[in-house]
Chains A and B, each alone.
Chain A
């Protein structure tokens, strides 16, 4: 050893320096490992990261159909550059002419209604104007018309509405903040960006409701699941396995079936209300199609996600600790609060985090049993996505929700520490 080190670097069998050779081998190993996980990596990238990324991008892209708005209205964008809607005057003749030219081209490419739909998200009425104007504007002889302003306004008086032109100007860039404004219940008016009337702020309300109900549901699963998990961890294996099947059985049943079962149980002419009336009460209870129904059904559905982490943590706590506490003079409450409970905290953390995050994104159950006041933000996102086709707003709402959950995760990490979470 000493000899070789004095004669320069240590050499491997083939004469290359050992350090290099080792690094090479390590590199090869790493490459092999990467190759091994490559299929999974590519799969996650292609089916998860990229679609989510492209969806999130939609929340800021200012598109109508597949093309960007400024690409469809290139002349209008230029012509409106110097126009200030706050003056209260209509844009110049040049802007009207640019609109006629761009509009005719958009009509040719069948883009004019998509453009109308895009602007209609901001200002109701524009979709109808754009659809109706398609054919008439395309028939204009551009080089023969002298007064485009009166020509267009004569065609449809709505072309003379300043707020329509203001909307076009405000949404003529490649990127837009208007989806996020809508998601935060703000709107662009002639006096700048303003919050909507308090009773029109639906997304704020839905966001708060989603978080609050999810927290409540998490608490309920904890209250119901904690004793069950303790029982399971405390019983001899044979009995606890049997009981575990009872916990898992609903877990393996279709979500829709479980939700529908709650519908049958909770509705006004349902099983629970029938029993309630049979034992002498006259007033039937409203247990479903409201927030109560959502809390009941979702607590049941998410229960296994709380019980399983709790169980796996409790299983590792030796029963002798409690006995030791008692033999040292603690009563039952003190023994539980100071010895047993602190040791189950990692399980509570894991269960609560899991349940809460699942609850925030829940969709089917609130849709089916939520009625008017029990729906979640996810139901609204779906509605915007599938019924209204407003992917931008849906993406903005989704992004905000994602950020809120990440923020909560961060706060949780700071308060409890994510290392203290145990899934078993």
Chain B
């Protein structure tokens, strides 16, 4: 432990020496490390946020990193070593809550640190309920939902419960290899009211009920662990219906022209947004805050939707969502938050899963092994 600390400190000194040479603008650092998820998503952030911001700040160097999946573990290690190399980090809401609770992310005051909407609405009201943690600035709403092959099924599925009907909708399904989402869908399709889903899952009988429902299709399931798998499995015809993030399905449908349709019924909403690590040096913190204020204003959030079909987290951004930057198609109907798509939805219950994930995950694993 001590040794890693020492090694990391040495690295820190080297880095600090490098940073000292970097040009500095007023009291803001001339260099900024932005961490995100890579792929089409990070590209959309580069185009909508980082490039315009660099155009406004001549000479600013932006380093991009694709480590968001391990953000919590890495930030813990950095804090332990006393050297934080990241300035702005894109994380899902659940991770933001954990980082905030552990004091690894700084608290954001929406009144002073974020931009108000053009019509004067306060940032806090503009983001509304989506500000689930005091350290978290929401950026997009995405959903985990189903796509299906339009040419391989006799008719289009209209309800999420159609995935449990292998007679009417033959072929394999791809589901994520974890209990989150699958357990809720199983209970909803077994007749449990949405408001009772989590109280049901707290009892052993409820868990058994969910597994019994999943048992009916277990032999027809291909389990995925990376978001890119379902679009590929659908494209290959390995599965006829499968769950994944809605942006991945959009890119398979609109950008690659695959014969895939969207099933929005009971899509599971989740949030993604920014945090700033706690205890950054003043110059770097000033830079990060300046960027954050710019990147989460109404226009910028609407701009990102030109590149990827995730819903902007500000209410005031929704009317500004326009056409896809390259394909020229209207983006609004592809958003998970579009009223036509959001008839039946539920929000990923962070708090509940934080408590029951270890336990249900072990049970889920045991069920898979049976």
Binding site for B on A (CB under 8 A): 46, 50-51, 54, 65-66, 109-114, 120-121, 124-129, 131-132, 134, 199-202, 205-206, 267-269, 289, 367, 371-373, 380, 386, 388-390
Q: What CA separation (Å) do A55 and B368 show in the bound complex?
A: 29
Q: What CA separation (Å) do A127 and B356 show in the bound complex?
A: 9
Is the beta-carbon distance between A128 and B352 smaller than 8 angstroms? yes
B46-86 interface bits toward A, Cβ cutoff 8 Å, 1 = contact, 0 = none = 00000000000000000000000010110010001000000
Q: Is B351 an interface residue (CB 8 A)?
A: yes
Is the beta-carbon distance between A128 and B354 smaller than 8 angstroms? yes
Is the beta-carbon distance between A388 and B361 smaller than 8 angstroms? yes
Pick the contact of A114: B102, B368, B369 (CB < 8 A).
B102
Is the beta-carbon distance between A206 and B355 smaller than 8 angstroms? no
Is the beta-carbon distance between B1 and A269 smaller than 8 angstroms? no
Tell me, rounded to whole Å, the shortest Cβ–Cβ distance linking B354 to chain A.
5
B332-370 interface bits toward A, Cβ cutoff 8 Å, 1 = contact, 0 = none = 000000000000000000011011111111110110111
Is the beta-carbon distance between B368 and A124 smaller than 8 angstroms? no
Is the beta-carbon distance between B361 and A127 smaller than 8 angstroms? no
Pick the contact of A124: B1, B237, B351, B359 (CB < 8 A).
B359
Is the beta-carbon distance between B238 and A124 smaller than 8 angstroms? no
Q: What CA separation (Å) do A367 and B229 show in the bound complex?
A: 13
Closest partner residue, chain B, to A198 (CB atom): B366
Is the beta-carbon distance between B351 and A131 smaller than 8 angstroms? yes
Q: What CA separation (Å) do A254 and B218 show in the bound complex?
A: 33
Is the beta-carbon distance between B238 and A268 smaller than 8 angstroms? yes
Tell me, rounded to whole Å, the shortest Cβ–Cβ distance linking A394 to chain B.
11
The answer to whether A389 and B351 touch (CB under 8 A), given A113-B101, A124-B359, is no
Is the beta-carbon distance between A124 and B369 smaller than 8 angstroms? no
Pick the contact of A65: B70, B102, B218 (CB < 8 A).
B102
Pick the contact of B70: A50, A134, A268, A386 (CB < 8 A).
A386
Q: What CA separation (Å) do A390 and B80 show in the bound complex?
A: 17
Pick the contact of B369: A109, A121, A132, A206 (CB < 8 A).
A206
The answer to whether A54 and B1 touch (CB under 8 A), given A269-B236, A388-B358, is yes
Closest partner residue, chain A, to B70 (CB atom): A386
Could you say which residues of chain B place their CB within 8 Å of the CB of A205?
A: 369
Pick the contact of A113: B70, B73, B102, B222 (CB < 8 A).
B102
Q: What CA separation (Å) do A128 and B80 show in the bound complex?
A: 25
The answer to whether A389 and B72 touch (CB under 8 A), given A50-B3, A128-B354, is yes
Q: Is B225 an interface residue (CB 8 A)?
A: yes
Is the beta-carbon distance between A128 and B355 smaller than 8 angstroms? yes
Question: Which residues of chain B from 214 to 247 have a CB within 8 Å of any chain A CB?
Answer: 218, 221-223, 225, 236-238
Pick the contact of B355: A51, A111, A125, A390 (CB < 8 A).
A125
Is the beta-carbon distance between A373 and B365 smaller than 8 angstroms? no
The answer to whether A373 and B369 touch (CB under 8 A), given A120-B355, A388-B357, A390-B358, is yes
Q: What CA separation (Å) do A388 and B94 show in the bound complex?
A: 12
Q: Is B179 an interface residue (CB 8 A)?
A: no
Task: Jot down 25 A-B pairs with beta carbons below 8 A, ordered by A.
Answer: A54-B1, A109-B103, A110-B101, A113-B101, A113-B102, A124-B356, A125-B355, A127-B355, A128-B351, A128-B354, A129-B355, A131-B354, A134-B101, A199-B366, A201-B366, A206-B369, A268-B238, A269-B236, A269-B238, A371-B222, A372-B221, A372-B223, A386-B73, A388-B358, A388-B361
Instruction: Output the residue of A205, A269, A371, A372 with the most chain B CB within 10 A.
Output: A372
Q: Is B25 an interface residue (CB 8 A)?
A: no
Q: What CA separation (Å) do A81 and B363 show in the bound complex?
A: 33
B1-32 interface bits toward A, Cβ cutoff 8 Å, 1 = contact, 0 = none = 10110000000000000000000000000000
Is the beta-carbon distance between B362 and A200 smaller than 8 angstroms? yes
B227-271 interface bits toward A, Cβ cutoff 8 Å, 1 = contact, 0 = none = 000000000111000000000000000000000000000000000
Could you say which residues of chain B place their CB within 8 Å of the CB of A199?
A: 366, 370
Is the beta-carbon distance between B355 and A126 smaller than 8 angstroms? yes
